[in-house]
Structure 1
Amino acid sequence: MDAVPVEMTRERFEELVADALDEVPEELLGLMSNVVILVEDDPPHTEPDLLGLYEGHALTSRGWDYSGVLPDRIFIYRRPILRICDSDEDVVDEVAVTVVHEIAHHFGIDDARLHALGWG
């Protein structure tokens, strides 16, 4: 297990994810459909540096036959975020960026467009 520059409990990290969600405009949150947001300590072992992940069917790809499916999932990965941050303030910022980034995927916005918009 890698050492992290910032020590933070899982509970505190989950609070930061909730705070980041509180910053998303209500109109946008209201458009989200059939999606859950989960905090995990680690990403899949094949992608150890992954900060977040969207799994599911973006709203833009859902057709008339979209029904009876499990919720989409947004994962926010605690340890990789803590590894790249130098302070609590960095963690707050990175969590916010990661949450927005993964929500954008739910709306069908790809990585190239997110980078062009400054949401790396």
Structure 2
Amino acid sequence: MDRTVGLPPTASELEAMACRTLARLPDQFARHLGEVILQVEDFADRALLAQLGIDDAFGLTGVYEGLPLTERSIEHSGTMPDRIRLFRRPILDEWAERGDETLEHLVAHVVIHEIGHHFGLSDADMHALEDMAG
């Protein structure tokens, strides 16, 4: 990534990292992402934090909003597209605290975790998907 030393990555830079992760997904997953929207914001809004019972905005790095593929039926056609929201500041904070991995790796981890919710995957399946996209 080409950026000035000392400046944190922008939302666009994090989005580019997330898109690279999506591009590395095995085809059996990538072809089913359909109209999932990817957004990067600085923080989750208060309503979302309250809905999830999270007090500290730094406690949420990403969220999947939508109906998992495993729960869909024809009755759900015409609904809003699913969305994955990544929260830049909490991701950067976690990256700084960990200090043992690249930011790209952490972003990939968060993206794959949220994609896992889209597919209705277990935590073990999410880890396997992360290994495949690595």
Question: Percent same amino acid at aligned positions?
Answer: 35
Q: Distance in 1 between matches of 2:7 and 2:25?
A: 25
Asked if the contact 2:44/2:60 (under 8 Å) is kept, the reply is yes
Residue of structure 1 equivalent to 2:114: 102
Q: Distance in 2 between matches of 1:67 and 1:13?
A: 31
The count of residues paired between Structure 1 and Structure 2 equals 111
Shift of 1:68: 0.9
Normalising by structure 2, we get a TM-score of 0.72
Letter in 2 for 1:103: I
SS of residue in 2 equivalent to 1:11: helix
With over 3 angstroms needed to count, the CA separation of the structure-2 counterparts of 1:117 and 1:61, relative to structure 1, is: closer
Stretch moving more, 41-50 or 15-24: 41-50
Residue of structure 1 equivalent to 2:17: 16
Q: Distance in 1 between matches of 2:125 and 2:72?
A: 24
SS of residue in 1 equivalent to 2:102: helix
Residue of structure 1 equivalent to 2:28: 27
Shift of 1:64: 2.5
With over 3 angstroms needed to count, the CA separation of the structure-2 counterparts of 1:92 and 1:66, relative to structure 1, is: same
Shift of 1:44: 2.6
Aligned residues: CA RMSD: 2.3
Normalising by structure 1, we get a TM-score of 0.79
Q: Distance in 1 between matches of 2:126 and 2:35?
A: 27
Gaps of 5+ in 2: 1-5, 128-134
Shift of 1:117: 4.9
Residue of structure 1 equivalent to 2:8: 7
Select the structure with the greater relative contact order (CA < 8 A; seq sep ≥ 6).
Answer: 1
Which 4+ stretches in 1 moved above 3 angstroms? 116-119
